[in-house]
Structure 1
Amino acid sequence: MGTKSAVDLMESLSEVHFSGFHMDGLEQRKAGTEQPTTSATDMYKQPFVIGVAGGAASGKTSVCDMIVQQLHDQRVVLVNQDSFYHNLTEEELTRVQDYNFDHPEAFDTEQLLRVMDKLKHSQAVDIPKYDFKGYKNDVFPARRVNPADVIILEGILVFHDPRVRALMNMKIFVDTDADVRLARRIKRDTADNAREIGAVLDQYSKFVKPAFDDFILPTKKYADIIIPRGGDNHVAIDLIVQHIRTKLGQHDLCKIYPNLYVIQSTFQIRGMHTLIRDSQTTKHDFVFYSDRLIRLVVEHGLGHLPFTEKQVITPTGSVYSGVDFCKRLCGVSIIRSGESMENALRACCKGIKIGKILIHREGDNGQQLIYEKLPNDISDRHVLLLDPILGTGNSAVQAISLLLKKGVPESNIIFLNLVSAPQGVHVVCKRFPRIKILTSEIEIGLNEDFRVIPGMGEFGDRYFGTDNDDQQVVPPSQ
């Protein structure tokens, strides 16, 4: 049985398209140079913001309502871009039939940014309720919105302004056929708004369709997820909600422990996780995708090291003000799984010294150190501690305690792993509040056998196992 590629595996789920696959800091989206939305350090101190864009009558509201319903146990607020239309002037009111409500300049984006800034900083806001008969936003009382865990920002042009896009942790584009959107619009405007069908069609051909082609459709390239058929695509929405719940679990831990850092997830990263967690993945593919993910973790870990400012002269004779890498650095791998992360560290840091710690497990809770080989001057270095799985935290505690005995300052240790169980995070962060833990995903927890779930199995066995590339990992017996 062949292993599916990450893209094939993800897109097989009810036709939901995971567009713009990228790795933070290593790859840019082919569609442009859009930078990662929210930084990994800031996103966990603030609400999780979801942007939902798409053409008029594409089903955005249905998608938002279904997400809100499934996240019923979370504090969720919905912010509509329609609330931020400009008030029409007296002159514009006299020729309202010629006013383009689908143009970016029809919205008060500055007010939207102010509202979102307050919500992201846990402040209550008053959101106007736009009167689509009088074309004013001060006719009805404003809607009071309190801070929440999740903010859904919905509108046809919420991806148009880069400042608004930068607020989002997840961007969803609802992609619905133009004929379906037009049919829905005719039904809505004639039945609900008592408009003549001729006026609806005239507005569509004059403003709605050109604006979709010029302003809305081009923003599709910024989406992390593209949902065909809108609210009818239940499987896609279930997948999105599952991902949001995963991120909210990480969010809560990072609020408790400011020294815990989780790499901002993309569906490129989720695709890698899907493959290396699959029990049917071949050893060759397991190693390949593990190495990619490990490289990401190492790069992010290096970003937490201190630096000094440095100026250089470029080949054009210009002065460039940059930074100089930390020189006093070493890696320490916890044998044997931690050794899988050494190549990525060597690839990033030429000539780096790497020490080793072997901890023999005796039972579920007992730990015994039986081997260590560390640089003689390790107390003068920053240390990247390597172990792909943080489970109970017992091995990590033993390794960190040894480093402290060798004179390494606690604040000089950065613990890198691929996945972390909440139990292990609690143990390590409470015991060593000044070290940093950097991981790519927080797990559900530990089972009765103290194994990480959903987990990756025995990482060292899968990574260093048979040399036969076609050998598959045997699924656990039921």
Structure 2
Amino acid sequence: MTTLVVGIAGATGSGKTTVARRLTEALPRGSVALLQHDSYYRDRSDLTYEARCELNFDHPDSLETSLMVEHIQSLREGKAAGVPIYDFTTHRRRPDVQRIEPAAVLVVEGILVLADAAVREMLDIKVFVDTDADIRVFRRIRRDIEQRGRSFAAVRKQYYSTVRPMHLQFVEPSKRWADVIVPEGGRNQVALDLLVARLRTVITEET
């Protein structure tokens, strides 16, 4: 089986996760697998919870990207991968892993997916989701407060100290590597339809 690997990058709150989810939902069950770069945050159990909260989670070094590259290669070779499960409320990896089975299409999603050369080399289609900054900020605030148990003060501090600087240094420049730029994320139905049509063609050729 030949696996087509699709990378979906974009800033925090851009809608890249929605794009990845809608692509996987639009394809036949069992034909697509999803890897999220966020799963590969390093487990810093050597630090206290307070110290972990102060880490720069938007820098490439905070992620074990080399492990994700190994898993992409395994999936391309038709072998399953044991993907870490990261708990964003405790900033720790859980002891168990998620088993991801190989599929005709592999979607790899994360803010820094296009910023790493080793990951880019594994991607057959590179997508960057581009959304206005004000929309992205409000989406991030809502997500961190409602889903990750953060206070508004903590979200604001993290945004100014690491999120925005790392976006300007790593995420935004990675847009130049994209094959496809999707404005407004999951709301761009035309772009989604085009991507789904391409992926369905690949799946049909494999069956």
Task: Please report how far the alpha carbon of residue 117 of structure 1 lies from its aligned counterpart in structure 2 after TM superposition.
Answer: 1.1
**Please, which runs of 5 or more residues in structure 2 have no aligned partner?**
none
Matches within 5 A, 1:68-467: 68-72=24-28, 75-91=31-47, 93-137=49-93, 139-249=94-204, 251-252=205-206
Task: Please report how far the alpha carbon of residue 180 of structure 1 lies from its aligned counterpart in structure 2 after TM superposition.
Answer: 0.4
**In 2, Cα distance between the equivalents of 1:73 and 1:82?**
23
Percent identity between matched residues is 37
Contact 2:130 2:184 in 1 (8 A): yes
Task: Please report how far the alpha carbon of residue 89 of structure 1 lies from its aligned counterpart in structure 2 after TM superposition.
Answer: 4.3
**In 2, Cα distance between the equivalents of 1:91 and 1:61?**
29
Give every structure 1 segment of 4 or more consecutive aligned residues whose post-TM-superposition deviation is greater than 3 Å: 91-94
Which fold has the larger relative contact order, with Cα–Cα distance below 8 Å and residues 6 or more apart in sequence? 2
CA 156–191 in structure 1, closer or farther in 2 if over 3 Å, else same: same
**In 2, Cα distance between the equivalents of 1:143 and 1:242?**
28
CA 179–248 in structure 1, closer or farther in 2 if over 3 Å, else same: same
Q: Deviations over 1:40-91 (max 9, x none)?
A: xxxxx52010000001111111101111121125511100001111111434
Contact 1:49 1:151 in 2 (8 A): yes
Task: Please report how far the alpha carbon of residue 247 of structure 1 lies from its aligned counterpart in structure 2 after TM superposition.
Answer: 3.5
CA 92–194 in structure 1, closer or farther in 2 if over 3 Å, else same: closer
Q: Which structure has the larger Rg over C-alpha atoms? A: 1
Q: Deviations over 1:223-265 (max 9, x none)?
A: 010000000111110011112223344x438xxxxxxxxxxxx
Q: Deviations over 1:345-388 (max 9, x none)?
A: xxxxxxxxxxxxxxxxxxxxxxxxxxxxxxxxxxxxxxxxxxxx
Look up the equivalent residue of 1:145 and give its one-letter code: I
**In 2, Cα distance between the equivalents of 1:243 and 1:144?**
26
Q: Secondary structure at the match of 2:129?
A: strand
Q: Deviations over 1:123-159 (max 9, x none)?
A: 011111012233222x242111111111000001011
Q: Which residue of 2 aligns with 1:363?
A: none
**In 1, Cα distance between the equivalents of 2:202 and 2:149?**
43
Task: Please report how far the alpha carbon of residue 195 of structure 1 lies from its aligned counterpart in structure 2 after TM superposition.
Answer: 1.9
**Please, which runs of 5 or more residues in structure 1 have no aligned partner?**
1-44, 254-478
How much is the aligned-residue C-alpha RMSD, in angstroms? 1.7
Look up the equivalent residue of 1:232 and give its one-letter code: R
Contact 2:45 2:92 in 1 (8 A): no
**In 2, Cα distance between the equivalents of 1:76 and 1:186?**
30
Q: Which residue of 1 aligns with 2:23?
A: 67
Contact 1:130 1:140 in 2 (8 A): no
Q: Deviations over 1:167-220 (max 9, x none)?
A: 111011010111101001111112222322111111101100111100001100
Contact 1:102 1:207 in 2 (8 A): yes
Q: Secondary structure at the match of 2:108?
A: strand
- Higher helix proportion, which one? 2
Q: Deviations over 1:256-282 (max 9, x none)?
A: xxxxxxxxxxxxxxxxxxxxxxxxxxx
What TM-score does the superposition give when structure 1 sets the normalisation length?
Answer: 0.42
Contact 1:74 1:150 in 2 (8 A): no
Q: Deviations over 1:16-36 (max 9, x none)?
A: xxxxxxxxxxxxxxxxxxxxx
Q: Which residue of 2 aligns with 1:57?
A: 13
Q: Secondary structure at the match of 1:128?
A: strand
Q: Secondary structure at the match of 2:85?
A: coil
Look up the equivalent residue of 1:234 and give its one-letter code: Q
Contact 2:113 2:119 in 1 (8 A): yes
Of 64-73 and 149-158, more deviation after overlay is shown by 64-73
**In 2, Cα distance between the equivalents of 1:235 and 1:74?**
24
What TM-score does the superposition give when structure 2 sets the normalisation length?
Answer: 0.93
